[in-house]
Amino acid sequence: MKIRVSVGISTLFLWSITIVMVDLGKSCSISNVTLYYRKDGLGNNEWQPYRFRQFYLDVSDFSASQTTTAHRTRCYTDNTIHPDVLPHIIDIPCKHTARYVIVETTYDALEDDPTTGAILEICEMVSNSIEHYALGM
């Protein structure tokens, strides 16, 4: 079963850490998670995923407010550095059973200067083999 969760996240500036979390409502079997970064058109240019670097994707039976990264299962760690960028869509294998899918970053994109802070702009998450979900942050 494929579940599509539209999260429409663009976090605020000046945060040292940013977390996007989806609560599936109960512990579910997950096979992979696909993240869709925003892809706005800016005239003839498209929005580049500068803020889509150095994040990680974890799963857990407990929310991000109840756990640290040491108490979660890591599915993916991104090590992309400036000036490289990831594609707008990234599919992450994540064969685990969990209630929460958590994307977290402390990355402050150089291209945002003079704006500072960790920012995530994920517009959608899609996961396969999930039985039930609810959106939460």
Kindly report the pTM of this predicted structure. 0.82
Per-residue tokens: 62: 């407990």
> With bands split at pLDDT 50, 70 and 90, how would you rate the model's confidence at 97?
very high
pLDDT digits (tens, 9 = 90+) for 43-67: 566 678 888 999 999 999 999 889 8
In residues, how long is the chain?
Answer: 137
In whole angstroms, what is the distance from residue 3 CA to residue 78 CA?
23
Per domain, the residue ranges of the chain are 2-135
Greatest mean pLDDT among 30-39, 87-96, 117-126: 87-96
In whole angstroms, what is the distance from residue 132 CA to residue 69 CA?
24
Q: Three-state SS for 130?
A: coil
What is the CATH architecture assignment of 2-135? Sandwich (2.60)
In whole angstroms, what is the distance from residue 55 CA to residue 39 CA?
18
In whole angstroms, what is the distance from residue 123 CA to residue 24 CA?
17
Which of 100, 97, 96 is closest to 125 using CA atoms?
100
